[in-house]
Amino acid sequence: MSSLDIISADAIIPALRANTKKAVLQELSDRAGAVSGLLSQEIYESVLQRERLGSTGVGKGIAIPHGKLARCTRIFGVFARLDRAVDFDAVDGEPVDLAFLLVAPETAGTSHLKALARIARLLREPVTTAKLRVARDPASLFAILTEGPASHAA
């Protein structure tokens, strides 16, 4: 499974404007609903439920919120570059400015974990995150997310 399998060009938010973690999650869920046909409120509730277990702010300004839904038929993602970094209760205490929402079927099992790992590896690359932070349009962000080196494969 490549990055192209889980994100599409219309699932990119180049300058998400939000002041809180919940607002970021809501905006990501709204876009996820729009690109998938799933109910954005169901996505939001699933992601919020996962957040209650512990923050998905993984550090260095990056968050990878995720959730599983019974009605979801495939793993997919939504990426946002935040207009302004927000507190996300990240493990390192740093505010988040890059967020990749991952939504998976309840039955996804290890493929969900592999997708999470692949996203984490991609966003752990300093060169990639530097490019994402300066890109301003959806096409550029999409290209950066999907051009990654072979080492990003799960």
Domain 3-147 has CATH 3.40.930.10: yes
Domain ranges of the chain: 3-147
DSSP the chain: --HHHH--GGGEEEEE--SSHHHHHHHHHHHHHHHHSS-HHHHHHHHHHHHHHS--EEETTEE--EEEETT--S-EEEEEEEEEEE----TTSPPEEEEEEEEEETT-THHHHHHHHHHHHHHH-HHHHHHHHH--SHHHHHHHHH---GGG--
Per-residue pLDDT of the chain (154 residues; tens, 9 = 90+): 455 579 999 999 999 999 999 999 999 999 999 999 999 999 999 999 999 999 999 999 999 999 999 999 999 999 999 999 999 999 999 999 999 999 999 999 899 999 999 999 999 999 999 999 999 999 999 999 998 554 444 4
The pTM of this model reads 0.92
Residues tagged active-site: 66
